[in-house]
Amino acid sequence: MIFYHTICLMKESELILILDFYGQYNQLIARRVRECNVYSEIVPFNTPIEKIKEKNPKGIIFTGGPASVYAENAPMCDKEVFNLGIPILGICYGMQLMTYSLGGKVRRAEKREYGTTEVSIDSTSKLFKGFEDKNICLMSHTDFVDSLPEGFENIGKTDNCPNAAMQNVQKNFYGIQFHPEVNHTNRGTEIIKNFVYNICGCHGDWKMSSFVQDTIKSLKEKIGDKKALCALSGGVDSSVAAMILSKAIGKNLTCIFVDHGLLRKNEAEEVSDVFGNSELNFIKVDARSRFLNKLANVENPEEKRKIIGEEFIRVFEEEAKKIGTVDFLVQGTIYPDVIESGVGVGAKIKSHHNVGGLPDYVDFKEIVEPLRDLFKDEVRQAGLEVGLPEKLVYRQPFPGPGLAIRIIGNITPEKVQILQDADYIFREEIAKAGLDKSINQYFAVLTNLRSVGVMGDERTYDYTLALRAVETTDFMTANFSKIPYEILEKTSSRIVNEVKHINRVVYDITSKPPATIEWE
Ligand code: XMP
């Protein structure tokens, strides 16, 4: 049972609601809609119709998904959604579901169609306004729409798929078998834009400057002259959250920075330097031994996250008591944290500490998460809006549990020190090579593996260090970075020479998926 609740900020923006049928690209759909300056939200496919009505969306998008509409337990939404008079766009499974629900036929193809394909489209359709008669699109499906429901007409086909797009102009229902949200589809965002503007009639009122101003105003009203405590880690998310709160409630905000002993080398000092002299009522708490004691002999990554999440909150509560009555706890949770923590219907991959890792009982009246609905790039824009320096706004992300999830297996102070030193060298070499802007996240991991080496004439039996560097925009998928060999060589040689107890360095060449960015 959860004893806290999150402040819901008033949202009066135009909304496109995305019904999640477990498609792998769902977040991308939400991002594409927002790139059109229209607010979008992902909700589970089985969201009750009353809730959908309450949200008053201008349009609804059904996502893709792995199921077949004929499968047992296939995800279905309430059919009432078709009677709301709201435009609907069905993508892939979403199109098939629309077809099935409205009396058309879906059939299983002999062969799965996967890859970019030329789709012949009817460019007189509002959905394809501004397009030529052919467009390259990403298809990824086995089932397909065999016959259209009554009232629909065909507006697209490929060699293998007779109904690659359909419309019912009267009802404003549209279906596309391909995925407009991925880059592999040519001008996919324009298709979404056509739906959002030409069909749903949105005007594009979702702008970061107005989001920031509205959020500040609504927090001012909600919190009034009560006190709030912010968990400031120095990362972009919590820094932006703190700045927004500071603008809303001024001196009634206190920012607590917890040094849990699992930060990167020199990080505690750097964060104190940036925020120590600001107007944020900045307090640094040295909780290093407290966290390390709790983590002693803990090997399971999820357990590490839970322990750190819980200890964080306890530290805050104690600090809060010193300040007097504090009702609100501010956190820098962002939208991907919410989704990846399995709060919606998606699979739970890891419980990021801001959400899933929180203990059940928290001694604050309310949790304030002003960035809960934003994607990372939107948080960065908000950061610039509130006047944070670019250097901080474009910092690479660092996970809440810090080095705890980059030391595989149990954590000791010695291992922390080894990892801090090695990671520092890697970051230094990346910066020297001018790669720190193009690589989105890069760090070292201390594996639990020890192997034999030779140094001078001596045999060594020491740790293997892994280097990880990825290029990504959304951190949901990522490619490993193709760092030039010379830089890897220089880094490796410096690490084995300068950091005691590392005698082997390897480079992680896996992308996400199938791996994740962090090792734990
Ligand atoms: P993964 O490893 O899930 O990481 O591919 C995706 C992004 O999330 C960060 N990450 C975390 N952030 N608490 C956080 O605040 C966590 O427990 C956590 N685990 C992963 C990771 O650094 C990457 O940016």
Q: Nearest residue CA, atom 3 of ligand 1?
A: 516
Claim to verify: residue 111 and residue 242 sit in the same structural domain: no
Claim to verify: residue 230 and residue 292 sit in the same structural domain: yes
Interval between CA 355 and ligand 1 midpoint (Å): 12
φ and ψ of 317, to 5 deg: -60, -45
Residue 492 is assigned to a structural domain of this protein = yes
Instruction: Return the best residue to mutate from 350, 377, 406, 477 for the ligand 1 pocket (most ligand atoms within 8 A of CB).
Output: 350
Q: Nearest residue CA, atom 17 of ligand 1?
A: 352
Which H or E run includes 258? strand 253-259
What pTM was estimated for this model as a whole?
A: 0.72
Which CATH number characterizes residue 87's domain?
3.40.50.880
From edge to edge, which strands make up the β-sheet containing 282-286?
5-6, 366-368, 328-330, 228-231, 253-259, 282-286
Claim to verify: residue 52 and residue 98 sit in the same structural domain: yes
Q: Which residues line ligand 1 (CB under 6 A)?
A: 305, 349-350, 352-354, 397, 399-401, 441, 475, 512, 516-518
pLDDT at 149: 98
CA 370 – CA 215 distance, rounded (Å): 7
Q: Nearest residue CA, atom 9 of ligand 1?
A: 399
Integer CA distances (angstroms), 239 to 37, 272, 323, 417, in order: 24, 12, 21, 26
Q: Nearest residue CA, atom 16 of ligand 1?
A: 352
Catalytic residue of the set 181, 385, 429, 520: 181
Domain end position, chosen among 393, 424, 454 = 393
Q: Can you tell me which atom of ligand 1 is nearest the CA of 520? A: 2
Catalytic residue of the set 36, 77, 92, 230: 92
Claim to verify: residue 58 and residue 139 sit in the same structural domain: yes
Each of the 520 residues of the chain gets a pLDDT tens digit; together they read: 233 334 444 456 899 999 999 988 888 899 899 999 999 999 999 999 999 999 999 999 999 999 999 999 999 999 999 999 999 999 999 999 999 999 999 999 888 888 889 999 999 999 999 999 999 998 988 899 999 999 999 999 999 899 999 999 999 999 999 999 988 899 999 999 999 999 999 999 988 988 899 899 999 999 999 999 998 888 899 999 999 999 999 999 999 999 999 999 999 998 888 888 778 899 999 999 999 999 999 999 999 999 999 998 889 888 878 888 888 989 888 887 777 665 444 445 555 544 444 555 566 788 899 999 898 889 999 999 998 888 889 889 899 899 999 999 999 999 999 999 999 999 999 999 999 989 999 999 999 999 999 988 899 999 999 999 999 877 878 999 999 999 999 999 999 999 999 999 999 999 998 999 999 9
Nearest Cα neighbor of 399 from 256, 262, 288, 230 is 262
Interval between CA 40 and ligand 1 midpoint (Å): 23
Claim to verify: residue 103 and residue 192 sit in the same structural domain: yes
Torsion of CA 413, 415, 421, 423, to 10 degrees: -120
CA 350 – CA 356 distance, rounded (Å): 8
Nearest Cα neighbor of 131 from 155, 159, 101 is 155
Q: Can you tell me which atom of ligand 1 is nearest the CA of 478? A: 5
Claim to verify: residue 172 and residue 194 sit in the same structural domain: yes
CA 248 – CA 251 distance, rounded (Å): 10
Residue 512 is assigned to a structural domain of this protein = no
Structural domain that includes position 136: 10-199
Residue 520 is assigned to a structural domain of this protein = no
Q: Can you tell me which atom of ligand 1 is nearest the CA of 305? A: 17
Claim to verify: residue 158 and residue 255 sit in the same structural domain: no
Interval between CA 373 and ligand 1 midpoint (Å): 17
Two tokens at 238? Answer: 């919590």
Interval between CA 391 and ligand 1 midpoint (Å): 21
Residue 4 is assigned to a structural domain of this protein = no
CA 245 – CA 241 distance, rounded (Å): 6
Which CATH number characterizes residue 423's domain?
3.30.300.10
Interval between CA 336 and ligand 1 midpoint (Å): 10
Claim to verify: residue 248 and residue 131 sit in the same structural domain: no
Nearest Cα neighbor of 95 from 140, 35, 43, 51 is 140
Based on the number of CB atoms within 10 Å of its own CB, is 136 exposed (0-12), middle (13-18) or buried (19 or more)? middle
Max CA distance (Å), the chain: 82
Residue 137 is assigned to a structural domain of this protein = yes
Interval between CA 306 and ligand 1 midpoint (Å): 14
Q: Nearest residue CA, atom 20 of ligand 1?
A: 399
Claim to verify: residue 151 and residue 25 sit in the same structural domain: yes
Decide the pairing of beta strands 328-330 and 228-231. Answer: parallel
pLDDT at 364: 75
Claim to verify: residue 161 and residue 71 sit in the same structural domain: yes
Torsion of CA 69, 75, 77, 79, to 10 degrees: 30
pLDDT at 113: 84
Instruction: Return the best residue to mutate from 377, 511, 517 for the ligand 1 pocket (most ligand atoms within 8 A of CB).
Output: 517
Interval between CA 352 and ligand 1 midpoint (Å): 6
Domain end position, chosen among 363, 393, 423 = 393
Interval between CA 258 and ligand 1 midpoint (Å): 18
Task: Report the domain count for the chain.
Answer: 3
pLDDT at 73: 92
Q: Can you tell me which atom of ligand 1 is nearest the CA of 518? A: 2
Which CATH number characterizes residue 219's domain?
3.40.50.620
Q: What end-to-end distance do the CA atoms of the chain give, in Å?
A: 27
Which H or E run includes 108? strand 105-121
Interval between CA 265 and ligand 1 midpoint (Å): 19
Our answer to whether residue 181 is catalytic in this structure is yes
Residue 402 is assigned to a structural domain of this protein = no
Q: Nearest residue CA, atom 4 of ligand 1?
A: 517
Residue 404 is assigned to a structural domain of this protein = no
Q: Are 476 and 29 in contact (CB under 8 A)?
A: no
Catalytic residue of the set 141, 179, 260, 352: 179
Q: Can you tell me which atom of ligand 1 is nearest the CA of 519? A: 2
Claim to verify: residue 295 and residue 156 sit in the same structural domain: no
Instruction: Return the best residue to mutate from 339, 348, 352 for the ligand 1 pocket (most ligand atoms within 8 A of CB).
Output: 352
Domain end position, chosen among 169, 199, 229 = 199
Claim to verify: residue 170 and residue 252 sit in the same structural domain: no
Residue 489 is assigned to a structural domain of this protein = yes
Instruction: Return the best residue to mutate from 334, 441, 518 for the ligand 1 pocket (most ligand atoms within 8 A of CB).
Output: 518
Our answer to whether residue 179 is catalytic in this structure is yes
CA 133 – CA 125 distance, rounded (Å): 11
Interval between CA 129 and ligand 1 midpoint (Å): 40
